[in-house]
Amino acid sequence: MTVKLASYVLVLLLAITLNFLLPRLMPGTPLRFFVGDDVALLSQESVRELMAQHRLDRPLWEQYLHYLWQLVQGDLGYSYQERKPVLAVLLERLPWTLLLTGTALVLSTAIGVTMGALAAWRHGSAFDALVLSLFVLLDSMPSFWVGMIFIAVFAAHLGWFPIFGAQTPWAALTGWEYLLDILKHLVLPVLTLTLTTISGTFLVTRSAMLGVLGEDYIRTARSKGLSEFRVLYRHALRNGMLPVVTVFMINLGFLVSGATVVETVFSYPGLGRLLYEAVLQRDYPLMQGAFLLITVSVLIANLCADLLYSRVDPRVRV
């Protein structure tokens, strides 16, 4: 666990250091990464002033220490496009990403585990082959493409769901109507993200269950006269769940990456979409903040999964 923890801290430091070094090592003045491309239009004097303000005239190590100190204080810089502190912009967007990825994660794990267990139980049947090929095919599809097709079919042509965003703009809905509106906007992005991340869970559950179902204690359970349902879900799945938790962790990373693309397709106002907008508008402080927050969320999620793992499998010590 300490080893794991150490590598997470290392990842975090690496992300921070990368954020620190990238703008400073690129050719040209680093100032344009702090205040925007307008820096070319400024006078020598104001450039010098701004350089001093951002401490870019100090030695690199001093800048680095100052940068770390700022981060500790929660100061992620100033977004020159949004004209707000980066942290404020990020916190506005974070709930939407949590809603989207959280829902997709729960759905994709639930469906993946259930289908994986069923496919293993009916190993070699037509159902197994069908579900297996379906999920392998889904795994090969780019999530943004699936999203675009969903928008074309279900939003633009059938008109069942809204085309973009997380809520109807300027509608000023309240109560149940507001909730329903958010739910309607959530359906297609969640469906896209779920379908394109399900196969990992499915494949691992299936192969783990195939291993477990061949064990002696399963035969014992069956010969005791327990129902197939009980054997499958109470006896086999419990042990088959171990590798699933591992995949769950790996999926977190994929989910976040997937969410970046899916949010962009659906113009969903989460962190991934923010990252994309920041790149488009060359808003580097915002881009770095979004990247840092995404990294921190993935690390926290990994940590939770590690703790969960030791709860599921008492043999693993924390």
> Where does this chain bind other proteins (CB under 8 A)?
6-8, 10-11, 14-15, 18-19, 22-23, 26, 136-137, 139-145, 148-149, 151-152, 156, 163, 253, 256-258, 260-261, 264-265, 272, 275-276, 279-280, 282, 284, 287-288, 290-291, 294-295, 298-299, 302
Distance CA 294, CA 93 (A): 11
User: In what helix (H) or strand (E) does residue 245 lie, and over which residues does it extend?
Assistant: helix 237-265
Nearer to other proteins, 154 or 233 (CB): 154
Residue 217, CB half-sphere, CA atoms under 13 Å: how many?
9
Q: Torsions phi, psi of 225, nearest 5? A: 90, 15
At closest approach, how far in Å is the CB of 134 from other proteins? 12
Between 221 and 285, CB nearer to other proteins: 285
Q: What are the Cα distances from residue 171, in Å, to 75, 93, 99?
A: 34, 19, 21
- Judged by DSSP in three states, 142 sits in coil
Beta bridge partner(s), residue 85? 78
Comparing CB distances to other proteins, the nearer of 69 and 145 is 145
CB of 114 to other proteins, least distance (A): 23
Residue 85 phi, psi dihedral angles, 5° rounding = -60, 140
Q: Which is nearer to other proteins, 22 or 107 (CB)?
A: 22
CB of 237 to other proteins, least distance (A): 22
Q: What span, in angstroms and rounded, lies between the C-alpha atoms of 201 and 224?
A: 30
Min CB(19)–other proteins separation in Å: 8
Q: What is the nearest approach in angstroms of other proteins to the Cβ of residue 215?
A: 16
Residue 240 or 272 with smaller CB distance to other proteins: 272
Q: Report in angstroms how near the CB of residue 136 gets to other proteins at its nearest.
A: 7
H-helix or E-strand spanning residue 78: strand 78-79
- Our CB check for other proteins shows the closer of 89 and 256 to be 256
- Give dist(CA 74, CA 70) in Å, integer: 6
Length of the chain: 318
